[in-house]
Structures are given as C-alpha cells and as structure tokens.
Structure 1
Amino acid sequence: MSNYPLSYKLSWLPRFLKPSLAGDARDFAPMAGTLMDPPKRAVRLAFVGDISAVANRSAPDCDPEIKALLGDADLVIGNCESPVVDRPSAVLGTRLGTHHAMSVRFLAEALAAVGIAREKLVLSLANNHVLDQGVAGFDETVAALQRLGIRMIGLAYNGPVVPVQVGPLNVGFAAFTLWRNLDESLFAGRVSMDSDPTHRPRDGVDLLCVAPHWDWEFRHFPRAATRALAKRLAGQGVGLIAGHHAHVVQPVERIDETIVAYGLGDFLGTAFARQPWPGRIGGILIVDVSADAGTRGAIASYRLHPFMRLRAGDHERLVPVEALVGQMRGKAEGRLRAIFPASSSEEDVTA
C-alpha cells in the first residue's frame, strides 16, 4: 500500500498535464553562484535527475555540450528511478508505464551515450519505484549495478552515509525516500526511508551530500514541509542537497553555507513518451568543491545547466536550452525565468 494522500493522487494527472507554478517563490537563490574565491584545487560533482527507460526504447541522443559537461565531472550522482531487470515481472503495468523497468543493456548504452563513465557514477535506489518489479526485481537491480561497477546509495543496509573518495576529498553520500508505491514492510530493511538529519554523521567526510526523494510531483516550487526538512538537514551539517521526485525543475536555495537544489527534473523520461513540454525541462547541477587545506570540503561554486528532452522516434534527444530554436526556446526560457527570477547570466552570491 502506498503512502500518498488522496488529494495527491487526485491531483497527479492534472499536474502532469499542466505542471504548476503555484507556491512560495520567495528567498530562493539564482541558478548559479560563487561562494568563495576559486580554490587552487577543486573536485567537480555533477548531479542529474531521475533516470528511467519509460520514455526511451533505445539510448538517447545527447548534445556534445551536455556530454562534455558530464564527462568532465569527477563524479556524477543521479537517481535510478527504474529497477534494472532482464524481464519485468509486472508485465501489464510495465507496458502501461505505471511500473518502471530498464534492462542492463539499456542502462549501459544510455550512460555511454551521455558520456558518464560507470566508475564515476553513484546512483540512488531510494525512490518510490525501486520495488516496481517486486523484491526479486530489487535484488536483481542491486546485483546488476554491482556487476556494472556502479556505486549505490539509499540502501538501508549500507548505513546512513556512504563515503566515496573523489580525488583528494572524501565525500559522504546519503539518500532517502519519503514516498512508497508499496507497503512499508517491503521497503523496510531494503530502502532508506530515514529523513532524520541527526542520523547522518559527518565524521571522516569532507562534505556530506544528501539525495532525497521528496516533495510533490509536477510542482515547480517545493512545499513548506520540504523546505523545513532542508533547513533541518542543513542545520545538522549537510552541505549539499540535490532532490528528486518532482519530475520538473525546482529552485535552488542557499541555507547558510548549504546549497539545496530541490528538484532536478528527469534526466531520462520517467513518464509517458508524449509528456507535456514543461516536464521535459531538466537540470544538471555542477558543483565545484574546494580541496585546499583551509577550505577543504567547502562549496566554491555551483551552476544549474538547464536542458530539454526532445522526442526523437523511440527515444529522447538531450539539448541545452540555449541551443533550442524558435518557439520552444522561448517557452523554456520563460518557464525558467518564472522558477529562477533572481538569475542572470553571471550571478554571484558570495557571502
């Protein structure tokens, strides 16, 4: 049994068809910011949104600029929104798109197409769809990612923080989901559902990052409860938060020295192939982290790079918003101005 409120369920289709710009738009940060002078040494992290095969039957086409952006990162972090299985057990639901699944081959080919090396990838399994193909499908997913050499976060039995050595830095990653598509007993012991920031020790890590699966879908502005949770996480020493589940781009907020990207949208389409255009805007968050002795683990700068997922036959084409032409570019830029009103081409949010 899922844990979605009735009002949430009733609003899913209307908001999918017309993503909402309603909500509190105050006190958010620009799309890009510099928090300190450029360090002599830095580590670059790239955060992407939800990854699924629902809207793709073959690997996506990727603009060279996006491929280079991801290829230049020292580590890429995303959300694995689909179980990775050879044969779906929920056959009808998978065909209809209500149950997610992707093959090992699709995932490997998609990663190669967008320039993400498996050894530089961390995927969260803390999401509502991870058990769409049952417990056996969950186990198969974990085994498949292990064979591919992809590191995982959001597994209940891996502990609250997974340390990853990224160049000279030891970066800690945690993930959790607030939403379930099935009964809690099936998620318990497998998927992290713990959002309590006091359970995430910072000992031994230079920067603690959290990837929460939170908030409500198809709303561009986070709910007050989501922002309150972000504040609690920041208050307990989390330095960077990159959220999922909304399936649309959401704002960035700075809470003291913590950067919060509430929602990065989809990286590869998780809904129907013919999705309305506002849900096709995604974001890639690039974060440079200082490795200098005096500022080790501090965020030096961040930038959200918006892109569009365009339909191309049986798959999607990933294109930077600035590379779009005609009416679509105007609509995408207008939507981004509504979400990030404080942004300009060269914003600086240095304290």
Structure 2
Amino acid sequence: MRFTASTLFLFLAFSLSQAQEKQVRLIFAGDAMQHLPQIRAAQTPDGYNYDSCFYLLKEKIASADIACVNFETTLAGKPYSGYPQFSAPDEFASGLKDAGFDIFFLANNHVVDKGRRGVERTLGVLDSIGIKHTGVFRSKDFRALNYPLMVIKNGIRIAFLNYTYDTNGLPVTAPHMVNVIDTLQMKSDLRLTQLYNPDIVIANMHWGDEYVTRPNAEQKRLASFLFRNGVRIIIGNHPHVVQPLAKNKTNNEIETVVYYSLGNFVSNQQKINTDGGAMAEIVIHMADDNSPVKIISCSYSLIWVRKHTENGKLKYTVIPVEEHKKKAIPELTPEEWQKMNIFATKADQLIGSF
C-alpha cells in the first residue's frame, strides 16, 4: 500500500494526538492498622510475614498506576504494641509495599504514639524501602522541600496533600512536623502548591467521628473549603467505617469528588461496619498537554477482613468482596459468608446514600 503525502500527514497527526493523551488510574485504601493480635498472627520463626494477609489483592492493586494507603501505625521497633499506642514490625510496611502500594499517608492521630523515636524510625524505615510518604516530616526544612508530594505519572502532574485533626493530644517533638488541620496553613499550602503547576490536587484527610457512618458538619465544611481552594479529589479516613461518596458534576462531568471515609483496610476491629472498608478507584485523563485533567470515573470496591484460625494459628486475610462473590471461594464458612455479606450490603448503602 502506498501513502500519499496528505494521508501520511493525517496519520502522523493522529498518532501525535494519540501519543499526547494521558491517563492515570489511582487506588486509595483506608486505615492500615496493626493491633496486637494481628502482630502475633504475622509472627514466624524468622520474623514477621504478611503475604497471607494481602495476596488476594495484589492483582487489583497492581492494576493501578498509583496506589495509596493510610498508614495508621508507627514503626518504632520492639516491643511491638497495638491499641492505644501502636508500634508495628517493619515487615508490615514491606508487606504493604509488596502488595503494590506506592504512597503512604502518615498524618493521623497515632503517628506520634511512640514519641520522637517512633516518628524518626518510621520515616527512616519507609525511606529505606523506597516508599513515598507525606504528612509527617523530619523538620521544617524537610517539609519546605518535600511538600506537597509531587508525583508525575504518565505525564500527569499530581499534588498530594495530607492532614490530621489531631495526634491524640500527644506533643509533636521538635524538630518533627505533623500536618494538622488548620485552614490558614492549608490555604497557604494550597497557594504554594499552585506554584508547582499541578494538573490536579488530591487531599487525604484524617477527620470525622469514629464509628459514625455520616460525615459531620466539620467534614462538610472542610470539603467545601478544599474545593474552593483548588483540590479536586478528597480521600477521607479515621472513622473506621465507610461514609458516603459525593460527586459534584457540571454538564455531566465530574468536577470534584469526596470519599468521606474509606473505613478500615486491615485491622482487628470486628464490630459492625468496622470489619472491612472500601478502596477508592479513580481514573483521571488529559486529552493533550494543553487540556485540563478530567475525572473520568470515581468508583469503589469493597474489602472484608477475614479473621480465622488455620492449623491452630490465627490468620488475617483481606478479601476483595465482589471477586469472592463471583468465584464463590469455598474456604469461607457459611458464617463468614454471612458476615461478609452483611458488611457489604450495609457499606454499599452507606457509600451511595448521598
């Protein structure tokens, strides 16, 4: 086949326009916690291993271009501890990385549970295994150099912000810094963020009332504040239960979206609504270098934490609910199926209630 000059021009122009298209698929998971029974369950003769906890999610997480998780513990070293002041084995962070997570959000109410040493060691371990993180910093200078967290993926410039409502009243020892919710500081941060010329700004917020399935007035007020100041996607954590997803649309296009709470990603909590959570799944797209980012889709998938005994040893496995329903995985007992379905039915109702 012979190409005319005009045909070749059109072909090259089409190829160039296609090459300029950019798309990023993001996944966000909720609170990743380590209560003492979980730590004991992960113990092996040689240390700690979390492969059996996350293996069912590896394919889904790997399908994302960027996968993020709310890391709600410290890596303060031994002795390990759960609630109320957490310190998890380093292998917990490695297990999340091996599962496919790229970014850890650290600004939460437990980040200074183990004081200055806990903060310093947590940051050091995450750096040593190559995990990007934000929300907590070694010093004011570190914050100035590394905040917001800027990530360029598939040609799209994404700014990540992270704040917590408090640190359980525990002091943040100098020179460390923890991003606490303060609208004056946040407004200043957002002005600075625009100097980095991001294509989209995403905020991870540790907020809300524990075990309450509806966003409170403060969450709604802060969401409006963030949207007015340039944030387009908000991911919420802390309540340990899922809360609604709210989209703002113009001409049938998604302008902004807030997931008020993703609930628990992994924990030992078992009471109603706390034995699982949601994973936010968002696709953003740019037609070319000169076009604005569009939020193509914002959906979610549910996960449920199976707590069971195998060969006399306690085990935790995070289960993708829909995949297990489709495949009817036989190892779940009738009681476990019932628990998972009760959680999933209620979670679907809560997330879609706005």
| TM bin (shorter chain) | 0.7 to 0.9
8 Å CA contact 2:22–2:156 kept in 1: the answer is no
Which residue identity is paired with 1:286? E
Query: Residues of 2 paired with 1:83 and 1:68: CA distance?
Result: 27
Evaluate the alpha carbon distance shift between residue 300 and residue 258 of structure 1 in structure 2; reply closer, same or farther with a 3 A threshold: same
Query: Residues of 1 paired with 2:58 and 2:155: CA distance?
Result: 24
Query: Residues of 2 paired with 1:123 and 1:298: CA distance?
Result: 24
TM-score norm. by structure 2 comes to 0.75
- Kindly report which structure 2 residues correspond to 1:70-81, keeping only aligned pairs within 5 A, or say none: 70-81=61-72
- Between 1 and 2, higher relative CO (CA 8 Å, sep ≥ 6) is seen in 1
Which residue identity is paired with 2:295? I
Query: Residues of 2 paired with 1:329 and 1:125: CA distance?
Result: 29
Q: Which one of 51, 58, 61 corresponds to residue 52 of structure 2?
A: 61
Q: Give 1:184 deviation, angstroms.
A: 4.5
Which residue identity is paired with 1:48? A
Evaluate the alpha carbon distance shift between residue 167 and residue 282 of structure 1 in structure 2; reply closer, same or farther with a 3 A threshold: same
Q: Which one of 203, 206, 209 corresponds to residue 210 of structure 1?
A: 203
Give yes or no for the alignment of 1:244 onto 2:255: no
Query: Residues of 1 paired with 2:347 and 2:160: CA distance?
Result: 28
**More off after superposition, 296-305 vs 238-247:** 296-305
Over the residues paired in the alignment, what is the CA RMSD in angstroms? 2.4
- Between Structure 1 and Structure 2, whose CA radius of gyration is higher? 2
Larger helix proportion of the pair: 2
Question: 1:140-171 CA deviation, whole Å, 9 max, x = no partner?
Answer: 11111100111111125324512111221110
Question: 1:74-127 CA deviation, whole Å, 9 max, x = no partner?
Answer: 111111111113224xx7xx25x2111112123213432xx315xxx1111111
Paired position in structure 2 for 1:172: 159
Paired position in structure 1 for 2:95: 109
Query: Residues of 1 paired with 2:348 and 2:90: CA distance?
Result: 38
Give yes or no for the alignment of 1:286 onto 2:281: yes
Query: Residues of 2 paired with 1:125 and 1:70: CA distance?
Result: 19
Q: What number of residue pairs does the alignment pair up?
A: 292
Q: Which runs of 5+ in 1 are unaligned?
A: 1-38, 344-351
> What secondary structure sits across from 1:128 in the alignment?
coil
Q: Which one of 102, 105, 124 corresponds to residue 124 of structure 1?
A: 105
Query: Residues of 2 paired with 1:216 and 1:328: CA distance?
Result: 24
Query: Residues of 1 paired with 2:75 and 2:300: CA distance?
Result: 28
Query: Residues of 1 paired with 2:34 and 2:318: CA distance?
Result: 14
Paired position in structure 2 for 1:20: none
Which residue identity is paired with 1:316? Y
Paired position in structure 2 for 1:6: none
Evaluate the alpha carbon distance shift between residue 317 and residue 60 of structure 1 in structure 2; reply closer, same or farther with a 3 A threshold: farther
Q: Give 1:136 deviation, angstroms.
A: 0.8
TM-score norm. by structure 1 comes to 0.76
Paired position in structure 1 for 2:338: 327
Paired position in structure 1 for 2:316: 316
Evaluate the alpha carbon distance shift between residue 202 and residue 86 of structure 1 in structure 2; reply closer, same or farther with a 3 A threshold: same
> What secondary structure sits across from 1:111 in the alignment?
helix
Paired position in structure 2 for 1:265: 263
